[in-house]
Each structure stands twice: as structure tokens, then as C-alpha cells.
């Protein structure tokens, strides 16, 4: 891996919204962090579908089936290796905007990708 593991919790500024407006993390944030770890590692395209399905099942199992479907569709559209998405990451207590870290295989330098 070229980069150490980082996470933005739930992408699409979801964790940022929950933590700044509602003053707590989304109830499914643990599912998102596990999903981020899979996205950081990358690998064959089939693993991406497994990771996306797993996060959907995790969120649904926590009692949020509609959010699970919305999140599944969002990561399928916005998660390929060639389409980096900006994210806000909580680092040492403050939010930082980052690029190239919300895509499949973000542990590798962009546009490099490992299957």
C-alpha cells in the first residue's frame, strides 16, 4: 500500500453532517469504517461488490433498511477507482477536505490501481 489507512466515517459528507449538526456519529458509522477499510485495500472488482453488499446488509441489520439501499446505490455509482470523490475527514479534532481518498483502492496513489 502506498498510503496508511484513513476513514471519513460515512462518505458523502454524511458523518460530517451528523457530527456537526446532530452532535453524534451516524448509528451505522461502524459499518462505513469497515467498508472504508475494504475500499482502501482495493482488489478485484468482485471484492468491491462484496464490500458494497456487506455495508448495505450491515446498515439494514442495524434497523435502517432505507438508508442501506440509498448508501448501496451511492457507493455503486460513486466508488470506482477512476472516480475519486472529495470527502471531509476528522483528523485530530478538526475537519479536513481531502481528494482521491473516496474510491476503490484509495490506499494506492491515484491513478495507480492494484487488482
pLDDT tens readout for residues 87-110: 888 777 888 888 877 889 999 988
User: How large a percentage of the chain has pLDDT more than 90?
Assistant: 58
Q: Tell me what the pLDDT averaged over the chain comes to.
A: 90
pLDDT value at residue 78? 86
pLDDT classification of 114: cutoffs 50, 70, 90: low
Cell matching residue 53: 453488499
**Does residue 114 come out as left (phi exceeding 0), alpha (psi in the -120 to 50 range) or beta?**
beta
pLDDT score, position 80: 85
What are the residues facing 98 on neighbouring strands?
A: 87
pLDDT at res. 64? 96
HEC readout, 18-81: HHHHHCCCCCCHHHHHHHHHHHHHCCCHHHHHHHHHHHHHHHHHCCCHHHHHHHHHHHHHHCCC
Q: What is the pLDDT of residue 41?
A: 94
DSSP class of residue 115? -
Digit-coded pLDDT (tens) for 28-41: 999 999 999 999 99
* Domains in the chain: boundaries: 31-82+93-115
Mean pLDDT of the region 37-56: 95
- Model's pTM, two decimal places? 0.88
Q: Which three cell numbers stand for residue 29?
A: 458509522
Amino acid at each position: 500500500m502506498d498510503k496508511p489507512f484513513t476513514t471519513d466515517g460515512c462518505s458523502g459528507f454524511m458523518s460530517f453532517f451528523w457530527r456537526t449538526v446532530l452532535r453524534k456519529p451516524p448509528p451505522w458509522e461502524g459499518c462505513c469504517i469497515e467498508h472504508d477499510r475494504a475500499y482502501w485495500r482495493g482488489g478485484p472488482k468482485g471484492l468491491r461488490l462484496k464490500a458494497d453488499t456487506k455495508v448495505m446488509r450491515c446498515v439494514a441489520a442495524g434497523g435502517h433498511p432505507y438508508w442501506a439501499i440509498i448508501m448501496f446505490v451511492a457507493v455503486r455509482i460513486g466508488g470506482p477507482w477512476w472516480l475519486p470523490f472529495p470527502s471531509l475527514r476528522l483528523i485530530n479534532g478538526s475537519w479536513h477536505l481531502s481528494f482521491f481518498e473516496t474510491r476503490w483502492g484509495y490506499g494506492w496513489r491515484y491513478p495507480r490501481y492494484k487488482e
